[in-house]
Amino acid sequence: MKSVKLIDFSSRHEQYIQNPDGSFSHMDEAYFESVKTAPGTWRILSSGDFSYLVEGENEALAIDTGYGAGNIREYMQSLTEKPVKSVVNTHDHFDHTANNGYFEQAFMSQETGRLATIPSPSFAGITFPQDYKRIIIGEGYIFHLGERDLEVFAFPDHAAGSIVLLDRRERLLFSGDELTEGEKHLNGGLTSFAENLRKLAAHRGEFDTLCAGQGHFDAAVIDRLLACAEYILDGHEGEIPRPHKFRLPEITAPDGSRAYHRQMPHPEDMHFDGEGADMSYLRRVEYAGTSITYDIRLREK
């Protein structure tokens, strides 16, 4: 296994993180938990969104690396007898790419390659290696793990370089932060979003479950989103959404300070629109059991 220096989180020792069970850990303490969700498939929590480990007959592949303390590659290797050498990133965001440096190589899209492993403000003072080997991949690339293949589909929206990975053997789609249950806020154009949904819809007979950064969801999410997108493109523009802000819960640590939650963004890393922000270009449409918020200026893009 590649010998790498453990990323030093000691400068953030005083910061507490609340774990899913309500207990607290210091930010520099390694924390890993995993659930085997399908044969040769593990969902792993470090900090941030979930990562995944996918095992074939010859090797195992990591999908995303979280941004928690500790060597996530060593932890993944403890789950399988197959070698864990590589990671593939669904997109560039720091909670998916922070710990890439523990792996021998990281596969990612061209756009992700330019932005991966750039620390968020709450990690100031911690050095995350960025000189790891990056291998650029795109639509149609196939990971051959031995009796198990993962096919790459480009799906840019949440991030410009997002990809999703289709696992036909276990009928899974690893979707990063692009496809989850709940309201979809588009960062890109509605037309391109619908085109990407149609691309995946052509393979709907090959997967049943979305393995996303936020957890597992029924793949019918795609059906609902596509129906809603088509409804908008048919001429139902929607209404201007009401202004609102996503507010993180206030969590009090044992020492009285404000704690982070292991699975939520850190307050310093959140970006809010200012009070009175112009929302006149936004439209929200609720249809087919889901909703999409989009920018009418980007409708045809």
Residue range 185-223, pLDDT digits in tens? 999 999 999 999 999 999 999 999 999 999 999 999 999
For residue 2, the model assigns a pLDDT of: 64
For residue 247, the model assigns a pLDDT of: 82
Single out the residue of 55, 30, 23 nearest to residue 45, CA to CA. Answer: 30
- Supply the pTM of this predicted model: 0.96
Q: How confident is the model at residue 278 (pLDDT cuts 50, 70, 90)?
A: confident
Q: At residue 133, what are phi and psi to the nearest 5 degrees?
A: -70, 125
Q: In whole numbers, what is the pLDDT of the chain averaged over residues?
A: 96
Q: How confident is the model at residue 113 (pLDDT cuts 50, 70, 90)?
A: very high
Q: What six digits make up the tokens of 236?
A: 């139902």
Q: Which residues have CB under 8 Å from 209's CB, separation 6+?
A: 38, 171, 172, 173, 216, 217, 218, 219
Euclidean distance between CA atoms 106 and 88, whole angstroms: 6
Q: Is 182 left (phi over 0), alpha (psi -120 to 50) or beta?
A: left
For residue 274, the model assigns a pLDDT of: 46
Mean pLDDT of 75-92: 99
Q: What six digits make up the tokens of 204?
A: 């709907």
Domains by residue range for the chain, with CATH: 10-268+277-298 (3.60.15.10)
Euclidean distance between CA atoms 88 and 122, whole angstroms: 24
Euclidean distance between CA atoms 272 and 54, whole angstroms: 35
- The DSSP bridge pattern shows strands 282-287 and 105-108 to be unpaired
Tally of CB atoms within 10 A around 35: 12
Going 288 to 289 to 293 to 294, the CA torsion angle's sign is negative
Mean pLDDT of 99-115: 98
- pLDDT of 279 higher than 90: no
For residue 146, the model assigns a pLDDT of: 99
For residue 243, the model assigns a pLDDT of: 80
More confident residue, 167 or 245: 167
Euclidean distance between CA atoms 72 and 49, whole angstroms: 13
End-to-end distance of the chain based on CA atoms, in angstroms? 45
- pLDDT of 100 higher than 90: yes
57 burial via Cβ count (<10 Å: 0-12, 13-18, 19+): exposed
Q: Which residues have CB under 8 Å from 63's CB, separation 6+?
A: 51, 52, 53, 54, 87, 88, 89, 90, 165, 174, 211
How would you list the strands of the sheet with 260-261, edge to edge?
Answer: 24-26, 16-18, 260-261
Q: How confident is the model at residue 273 (pLDDT cuts 50, 70, 90)?
A: low
Q: How confident is the model at residue 271 (pLDDT cuts 50, 70, 90)?
A: confident
